Structure 1
């Protein structure tokens, strides 16, 4: 009964206008006063932030903060797939005939997740990671490879929570929420970086509000204006994951997720 009530309340609060209001508050001058409390409540490592707390104009400004240079070293080697974010791995595994299996008990098709893009055929037997960013995490998204943008697509949708409750108890939130999808061609193949919006995420933005033609590995790709999830896909036959990664592991931006190779 309680689970059904929580699902109903989540459904009612999943309208975009709710997130817009939350975003407006977080971007207001008043929200600046909330920064110290927010940082303390979530145990954020403020010593890693590029600026002091007093220098951030709004809560959203702090939330989308950059880090001090050198705090996220990149795994050595162009053939290493980098984690694009600081996050927890909430799903990972081979894609089986176009289906992402058992993300918190639910399956997702590439048709749904990639909005029926022609690119989906490349990933039919690839590999996937679901990377969840909590409010504690650094929220800028970086390129996992060196390459060039093949295509970018914005997919409108809901803003259901993508935390543990949302993934378990809401119907296929990763393919129902709004998404910003970037396809990047690299030396060994192609990757798809799917940025999934969530409850109270006012927007997902590319750095400088534009899609860049080329990206260096570790270069800034986009950022969330509140916590959310990235789904990272590799195309068929081009990737072997690290053998010591498991569900629930925390990874940092720039950390190696596995080895890229030719088909």
Structure 2
């Protein structure tokens, strides 16, 4: 089953790994999103304005203003966020954007300690593909994933041909810092210019190519357990800013912070060479059924199979 088929009733459903229950996503800005991707006039506006950096830049400046602080408490209440996790009190944030890419208290996201574990890079809704280039139902029936366009490099695409990929979708209500899924040496990030379409499934079922059309940042991680891993941040509408907080060339720990997204929804993809990782069974099962799995950063997404 595809994600598109699961959206037939108009709802975005996912399985919460914490309790195993199927839940319905509360969509931030749902009316605007459905209009922009489901209405002819909305699609025109999206093509002319919404996907362009200037709109995201304008909204980003708005969310950086002191006056945006008034949005913080209603947002917390509406989406049931846990203030006890925040690294500092709510009234100490100087803008909505500062709150949006907030840090959490130490220990709020424990990292799976097993030596062979590979962990989720972000809080969000995840899909796991055992063979991304062999995938023929990427969000919609008959859609393949264009790895070469996604990576912007034919050589890299060849290296990861037939390999696994984790796709993590962050909603505006999620914790928006992303972390390394494994230990290793992280290289210099490479920027790929592009548009800023929404990465919500409502948009993706109309245009799965969004993933290789949007702005992206690609980082290679040399991992003792997994060989070469690719970490890709994908910008989205209202996310013109992808910030890196790590130091390229230094050794990083599993679960260590890599960076953050400014305001909006966004996605992260992690690619592995063929035969390097075994994804958790529930992830693969849910993905095959066209449904995302909600899990948090630091939790186990699979195990490394070594370099042998």
| Structure 1 gap segments, 5+ residues each | none
1:250 is aligned to 294
Q: Helix, strand or coil: the match of 1:78? A: coil
Q: Helix, strand or coil: the match of 2:97? A: helix
1:220 to 239, 257, 266: 257
Is 1:147 aligned to 2:184, yes or no? yes
Q: CA deviation at 1:222?
A: 1.0
Q: Is the 8 Å Cα contact of residues 103 and 167 (structure 1) preserved in structure 2? A: no
Q: CA deviation at 1:100?
A: 4.8
In 2: Cα distance, 1:99 partner to 1:205 partner = 32
Q: Is the 8 Å Cα contact of residues 83 and 257 (structure 1) preserved in structure 2? A: yes
Matches within 5 A, 1:95-244: 95=131, 98=133, 100-105=135-140, 106-116=143-153, 118-188=155-225, 189-207=227-245, 211=248, 213-226=250-263, 227-244=265-282
When the two structures are superposed, what TM-score results if normalisation uses the length of structure 1?
0.92
Q: CA deviation at 1:127?
A: 0.5
Matched pairs, number: 260
When the two structures are superposed, what TM-score results if normalisation uses the length of structure 2?
0.79
| Structure 2 gap segments, 5+ residues each | 1-36
In 2: Cα distance, 1:99 partner to 1:152 partner = 27
Q: Helix, strand or coil: the match of 1:107? A: coil
In 2: Cα distance, 1:70 partner to 1:187 partner = 25
Q: Helix, strand or coil: the match of 2:275? A: coil
Q: CA deviation at 1:211?
A: 3.4
Q: Is the 8 Å Cα contact of residues 101 and 107 (structure 1) preserved in structure 2? A: yes
Greater share of strand: 1
